[in-house]
Amino acid sequence: MIKAARAAQKSSKTSALELARRVLAIEAEAVRALGERLDQGFVQAVELINGRSGRVVVSGIGKSGHIARKIASTMASTGTPAYFVHPAEASHGDLGMIEPGDVFIAISYSGSSAELVEIVPQVKRRGAKLIAITGNRESTLAREADVHLDAAVAQEACPHNLAPTASTTAALALGDALAVALLEARGFSAADFARTHPRGKLPSQALAHQALLHVHDVMRTGERIPKVASGASLRDAVAEMSRGGIGMTAVVDANGKAIGVFTDGDLRRTVEKGRMDVRSVDEVMTARPKSVRRDMLAAEAVHLMEAHQITQLPVVDAAGALVGALNLHDLFRAKVL
């Protein structure tokens, strides 16, 4: 009796392993076959999404709905703004989330899911383009789509050939292929990826801390702040800018308030215009300069620099008094960039 039980247990384990290998083989074959069938439709889908003026809306019901959520999430994290809309909720008001210029990706293996078919006319009426991912080229969704992507599989991995298994794997792989093709077309970099994953796994606690660095953690203070008083000569301003070594000197009034900055660019423009005989730096400085507060995140300072194409910033307090200076190289050294 004990011998028979052990034999049955061993047989059960063997059977489970064999079944698992069969499932993996079927799903791997489904993805391999999908790659061989890819055609110009895939290129058209990429071009349609890249040429949109709106966002990508991904939708599906049941298991396809779970795949649609994942595809939308992958696209959003790799530079293609996308979100999931439940087709049943769409017919109860969420269609308002779809706008002209959007691309709507409908996922349904049969291509005839009632909840999706029902909203197709409204999706098109709202001015969105339709990409259908189905396993049936002759289905309603495939026929009505601007672009159809064939995700048919030879069989499901389910022993009864019923439960969505290989078909959902194929749809997921096709969605990943779209996201990566779009990523490449946009020139989406590793740095761009990092910006959309601020809570992603970092190699050390030190790097995790860097994400929360504030301006006061990296700015220059005290004697390291290049500054001249309002009314200073151009010669003195150039000398102070050279001493500071960040391509800028702040210009402050009698109360220490930053009223301007004089930069390498200002100096170059002054020379080009033949204005080296000006009486004071005030005449050629950049008045009311962009500035940051010491308690801002260093990442916010980076955003300001990128948005205005500048490489240095004065740091001021609530009253506008100069308390520090920040340069792009300071942010590089702190590994904020």
Chain segment 138-164, per-residue pLDDT in tens: 999 999 999 999 999 999 998 898 899
Q: Provide mean pLDDT across the span 212-216.
A: 84
CATH number for the domain formed by residue range(s) 215-333: 3.10.580.10
CA distance linking residue 206 with residue 167, whole number of Å: 43
Same fold, 19-195 and 215-333: no
pLDDT value at position 74?
Answer: 93
pLDDT tens string 279-333: 899 999 999 999 999 998 888 888 888 888 888 999 999 999 999 999 888 888 7
Question: Looking at residue 123, what DSSP letter applies?
Answer: H
pLDDT interval class at 206 (50, 70, 90):
very low
CA neighbor of 320 nearest in space, from 255, 275, 248, 232 = 255
Distance CA 153, CA 136 (A): 10
pLDDT at residue 208, rounded to an integer: 46
* Domain limits, the chain: 19-195, 215-333
Residue 204 pLDDT > 80, yes or no?
A: no
pLDDT value for 120: 92
* Bridge partners, 287 (sequence order): 260
Which SS3 state, helix, strand or coil, does residue 82 take? strand
Class for domain 19-195, per CATH?
alpha beta
Where in the chain does DSSP place strands (E)?
A: 56-60, 82-84, 103-107, 129-134, 147-150, 227-229, 248-252, 258-263, 286-287, 292-293, 312-316, 322-327
Residue 202: the pLDDT is 46
The answer to whether the predicted template modeling score (pTM) of the entire model surpasses 0.85 is no
Gyration radius of the chain over CA positions:
30
155-181: buried (b, 16+ CB within 10 Å) or exposed (e) per residue?
ebbeeeeeebbbbbbbbbbbbbbbbeb
- How far is the C-alpha of 265 from the C-alpha of 311, rounded, in Å? 11
Q: How far apart are CA 95 and CA 292, in angstroms?
A: 41
